[in-house]
Structure formats: structure tokens, C-alpha cells
């Protein structure tokens, strides 16, 4: 009989040994009442009299299901996100909330819809990081009593209606066209200013216009297929005419 009792005690002792891994914490109960948090290693939990529950304290990534929301400027969108959180107080995560994973997911969905409804579509698209930070702060404050720390919230995808996509594309195209027209006008203005400055310089320098004409003729004469019609300045004709009058030779002018 004594041997049987010893065997029973040994079996109970072996069954009482509970291993808690490094990334876990154990919540121990005596007769259903919370006693302590069991640290990593081997712990003794007496069957029937005591019980325990393990809690994973590693950072968890939870997908927030796609939510349909309406922005401040009445645009209907669909948005989803991912939330990163971890348990910093295992006892609160078990005692303060029934299912902390489900609770955090539901809170994130509600908070995300409220945050989207408080901003316009342009703000949502242009300040995604800022809105994510706001959502993270709100959820973190709400989950502190549950022993949960929210580390980050990332908005993954923002789905717009097809009509809104076409409108945004049209606006973007109009903006690009406006920029192109403005740039072209600035280029024409700069070119006109440069031409005016060049004309002013040529007019103030004697013979500069003739040199520029000869330079242009030299540039286009490289292509043998071009036919050049050269306009002789009236000054040259007057000079030749004056020379012919002085020498009494009208044949030169007639030949020209």
C-alpha cells in the first residue's frame, strides 16, 4: 500500500511540473484565485488544487480586416491595416479582458473607421504615416488597462471607387499639362529676352550683323543640297554704285 502511495505521489509530482518558455509567462491560480505570474523555467502546479494559463509575450502582427469607411469629404473608401502589439502585463491580459487578441482587433477596426472619417481623402492619401500614428496612440491608450502595448499601426491599402480613380487621374493630368504650359511659356520668355539682348548687341556694334550673316551662311553651306539665296545689303550696292560713278564705268552696275 505504501508503494502505491509513493507511486501516486511521484505521478502527481511529475504532472505538477510545468515548463514556461522564455517567450511566455504563466498565470497561476489557487482554487480559481490569481496567485502570481510564473517566470520562464520549471514551475510546480498541483493538479486539481491549482491551474495555470500561458501567455505569449512576443510581438504579434494582426491583420485588421478591410473596412468600408467614409472620409470627411464624403468619399467612400475601403481600407485595411496591420497592427503590431505585445503583452507587457500577462495577468491583466488574462484577467481584464476575455480574449485580448479579438478585443484588440475589434478596437483597431473601430478606431480606424473613426480616424478615416475625421480627415479628407487628400489628407488620408498624403499623410498616411501621421494618421497611422494617431490610430496607434488611440489604441495604445485604450489597451493599457488590458496590459497590452501597441507598437505600431500600418495602413496597408486604400481602395478607391473606380469613378474616384478616374477623377484623380484627370486632375493629375490637368496639373501636369498646366506645369508643361507654364514651363513652355517661361522658356519662350527667356528665349525672347535673349534674342532682344542679342539684337541690341548686334545693333550697337558696327559690322556685327554682317559677320553674323556670314557665320550663318557658313553654317548652312555645309549641306550641299541646300540652295542659298543671299540678300546683298543695300550698303554694298551703294558703295559699288558710288565707285562706278567715280570711275565712269556703268557696266559694273548693269552686270550686278
DSSP 104-167: HHHHHHHHHHHHHHTS-HHHHHH-HHHHHHHHHHHHHHHHGGGTEEEEEEEEEEEEPPHHHHHH
Do 138 and 80 lie in one domain? The reply is: yes
Cell digits of residue 181: 504650359
- Region 202-212 average pLDDT: 72
120-175 pLDDT, tens digit each = 888 888 888 889 999 999 999 999 999 999 999 998 888 887 777 777 778 788 88
pTM: 0.63
* Total structural domains within the chain: 4
Residues 73 and 156 in one domain: yes
What phi-psi label fits residue 168: left (phi over 0), alpha (psi between -120 and 50 degrees) or beta?
A: alpha
Please tell me whether residues 77 and 141 are part of one structural domain. yes
Identify the domain boundary among 37, 56, 75.
Answer: 56
Give the pLDDT band (50/70/90) at residue 65.
Answer: confident
Model pLDDT for residues 82-108, shown as the tens digit of each residue: 999 999 999 999 999 989 999 999 999
Mean pLDDT of 226-249: 62
Q: Residue 141: which CATH number? A: 3.30.479.30
From 85, 15, 83, 81, select the one nearest 55 (Cα to Cα).
85
Asked whether residue 197 falls in the same domain as residue 212, the answer is no
What is the residue range of 128's domain?
A: 60-160
pLDDT of residue 152: 92
The answer on 72 and 141 residing in a single domain is yes
In this predicted model, which residue has the larger pLDDT, 169 or 37?
Answer: 37
Domain check: are 185 and 255 in the same one? no
Res. 255: pLDDT tops 50: no
Q: What is the C-alpha to C-alpha distance for residues 114 and 142, in angstroms, rounded to an integer?
A: 14
Find the helix or strand (DSSP H, E) in which 196 lies. helix 162-204
Give the pLDDT score at 248.
Answer: 52
134 with 51, same domain? no
Q: Which long-range contacts (CB under 8 A, 24 or more apart) does 61-67 make?
A: 62/101, 62/104, 62/105, 62/108, 64/105, 64/108, 64/109, 64/112, 65/105, 65/109, 66/157, 66/159, 67/109, 67/112, 67/113, 67/116
What's the mean pLDDT in 226-236? 66
Q: How far apart are CA 89 and CA 147, in angstroms?
A: 4
- Could you say which of 56, 73, 92 is where a domain stops? 56
The least confident of 48-62, 70-84, 112-126, 197-211 is 197-211
Looking at the structure, do residues 153 and 214 belong to the same domain, yes or no?
no
pLDDT value of position 252: 44
**pLDDT for the residue 201:** 78
Is the pLDDT score of 179 beyond 90?
no
* 147 shares a domain with 64: yes
If DSSP states are collapsed to H, E and C, what string results for 13-51? Answer: HHHHEEEECCCEEEEEEECCEEEEEECCEEEECCCCCEE
Going by C-beta distance under 8 Å and a sequence separation of 6 or more, which residues neighbour residue 22? 40
- pLDDT level of residue 74 (50, 70, 90 thresholds): confident
Q: What's the sign of the alpha-carbon dihedral 240, 243, 245, 249?
A: negative
110 plus 199 within the same structural domain: no
Same domain (yes/no): 129, 189: no
Q: Return the SS3 of 70.
A: strand
| 6 and 52 part of one domain | yes
Number of CB atoms found within 10 A of residue 81's CB: 23
- Calpha distance 206→188 (Å, rounded): 28
pLDDT value of residue 93:
92
Q: How far apart are CA 116 and CA 153, in angstroms?
A: 14
pLDDT of residue 239: 62
Residue 244: the pLDDT is 56
Amino acid at each position: 500500500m505504501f508503494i502505491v502511495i509513493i507511486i501516486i505521489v511521484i505521478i502527481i509530482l511529475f504532472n505538477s511540473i510545468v515548463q514556461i518558455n522564455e517567450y511566455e509567462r504563466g498565470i497561476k491560480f489557487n482554487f480559481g484565485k490569481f496567485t502570481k505570474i510564473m517566470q520562464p523555467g520549471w514551475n510546480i502546479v498541483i493538479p486539481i488544487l491549482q491551474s495555470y494559463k500561458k501567455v505569449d509575450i512576443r510581438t504579434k502582427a494582426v491583420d485588421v480586416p478591410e473596412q468600408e469607411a467614409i472620409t470627411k469629404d464624403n468619399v467612400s473608401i475601403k481600407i485595411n491595416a496591420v497592427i503590431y502589439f505585445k503583452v507587457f502585463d500577462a495577468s491583466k491580459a488574462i484577467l481584464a479582458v476575455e480574449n485580448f487578441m479579438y478585443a484588440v482587433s475589434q478596437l483597431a477596426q473601430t478606431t480606424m473607421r473613426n480616424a478615416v472619417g475625421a480627415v479628407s481623402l487628400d489628407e488620408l492619401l498624403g499623410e498616411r504615416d501621421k494618421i497611422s500614428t494617431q490610430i496607434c496612440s488611440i489604441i495604445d491608450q485604450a489597451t493599457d488597462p488590458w496590459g497590452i502595448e501597441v507598437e505600431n499601426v500600418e495602413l496597408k491599402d486604400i481602395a478607391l471607387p473606380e469613378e474616384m480613380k478616374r477623377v484623380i487621374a484627370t486632375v493629375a493630368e490637368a496639373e501636369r499639362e498646366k506645369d508643361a504650359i507654364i514651363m513652355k511659356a517661361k522658356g519662350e520668355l527667356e528665349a525672347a529676352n535673349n534674342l532682344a539682348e542679342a539684337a541690341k548687341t548686334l545693333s550697337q556694334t558696327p559690322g556685327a550683323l554682317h559677320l553674323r550673316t556670314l557665320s550663318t551662311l557658313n553654317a548652312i553651306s555645309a549641306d550641299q543640297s541646300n540652295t542659298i539665296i543671299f540678300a546683298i545689303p543695300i550698303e554694298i550696292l551703294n558703295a559699288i554704285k558710288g565707285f562706278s560713278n567715280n570711275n565712269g564705268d556703268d557696266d559694273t552696275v548693269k552686270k550686278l
